[in-house]
Amino acid sequence: MNETIKRCTRCLLPGSYPGIKFNKKGVCNFCLEFKQRSLLGEELFLEKIKSKIRDKFDCLVGISGGKDSCYVAYLAKERFNLRVLAVCYDFPFLCELARKNVKNVCDTLKIDLIIKKSKRNVEYNLLQNHLMSTAATGTSWGQCLFCHYGIDAILYNVAKENKIPFILSGVTNSELWWNPGNRIVMLLKRIKKLGLIEKAKFIYYQLKAYFCLVNQRREFKLPSNSCFNAYKKPKKPLNGPEFVNVFDYIKWDHKIIEDTLVERTGWVKPDRSLSWRYDCILEPMLDYTYKREFGISSAGLYLSALIRSGQIERDEALEIIGQNEDEEYLRKAAQHVFNYLEIPLRSQNAFFNAQ
Ligand SMILES: [Zn+2]
């Protein structure tokens, strides 16, 4: 498959990607506009950490079991000799291997670990209602809202309680560049096309999902963010602990990261071609909807960014995407999520058959 897709000759973006243009050599505008970022360096990182008074811990690390967050924990503890506290937001979609990796890494590196879980499985109810609501639109836009908020709120509160001035994160540039358009606008367009009963269903289940989001915000409070403004991107409170992205300072190299973690921390590599975001079982829903909507999965977008920054060869990325974007594979992965959330077959079919 994918033989007939016109792709950028440098990355993997297809001609169907929103806002794409190709030059005469078939190179896309995203590749042409890409600029390699320069790093701030280790010295500045340490200078920053030392700039504030610390109590028992120098920094807090949010850890999910994924390779980037585990590597940040490793760097903080082993390379920089910092006193690290780790916190894991254990929601019901974290895969078992991720949970094991969190434990392995913290045990091996002797890092204190706090695990935070919601009281009444609010995330499961949320996603069940959210997917029931959006099924007929053929998308799942909004599925990640709870996680973005939950992580920020939990990190903020744990840092505050333990008087930790810095929260280290490991978000890479490769995850931040894409913005295929406003997804709320796209979703609203889809809803317009639905019949009356489907529209009513959307509102009914979305209202239930909304109250789950409100409940999550009530349980994990983040100052200066209203519980009821639950679709809004969380704002980081001023004067609180500072979020520091370690990969603004230190080089990110996926091969070095994986090898180091396996050799030094007991981290276990997932049994698949791409270890990115293996930790959340909801990710295939995104891959499926991105592929259908924009002609490329979120994994493909990520790989495209890796090619641009020289982290992976295009041929290798093409091979990985071939496995990851196989229609049957993506459909099964999405079905698995639906079944786990006990979404009735009728809604599942509405999702897969949506135009
Ligand atoms: Zn390109």
Using one digit for the tens of pLDDT, what is the confidence trace for 7-17?
Answer: 999 999 999 99
- The Å distance, Cα 164 to ligand 1 centre, comes to 41
Q: What is the C-alpha radius of gyration for the chain, rounded to an integer number of angstroms?
A: 21
- The Å distance, Cα 177 to ligand 1 centre, comes to 12
Q: Where are the domains of the chain?
A: 29-353
- The Å distance, Cα 173 to ligand 1 centre, comes to 16
Q: How far apart are alpha carbons 191 and 172 in whole angstroms? A: 33
Q: How confident is the model at residue 55 (pLDDT cuts 50, 70, 90)?
A: confident
pLDDT-wise least confident of 16-25, 228-237, 341-350: 228-237
- The Å distance, Cα 8 to ligand 1 centre, comes to 5
- The Å distance, Cα 325 to ligand 1 centre, comes to 18
206-260: per-residue pLDDT in tens?
999 999 999 999 999 999 899 999 988 888 888 889 999 999 999 888 889 999 9
CA 168 to chain centre: 16
Query: Average pLDDT in the 24-35 region?
Result: 94
- The Å distance, Cα 36 to ligand 1 centre, comes to 14
What kind of architecture, by CATH, is found in domain 29-353? 3-Layer(aba) Sandwich (3.40)
**Residue 97 scores a pLDDT above 90:** yes
**Residue 1 scores a pLDDT above 50:** no
How would you class 318 by CB atoms within 10 Å of its CB: exposed for 0-12, middle for 13-18, buried for 19 or more? Answer: middle
Hey, what amino acid is at 311? Answer: Q
> What local confidence, expressed as pLDDT, does residue 182 receive?
80
**Residue 353 scores a pLDDT above 70:** yes
- The Å distance, Cα 305 to ligand 1 centre, comes to 9
Q: How confident is the model at residue 174 (pLDDT cuts 50, 70, 90)?
A: low
- The Å distance, Cα 304 to ligand 1 centre, comes to 7
Entry pTM:
0.91
> What local confidence, expressed as pLDDT, does residue 58 receive?
95
Q: How confident is the model at residue 346 (pLDDT cuts 50, 70, 90)?
A: very high
- The Å distance, Cα 301 to ligand 1 centre, comes to 10
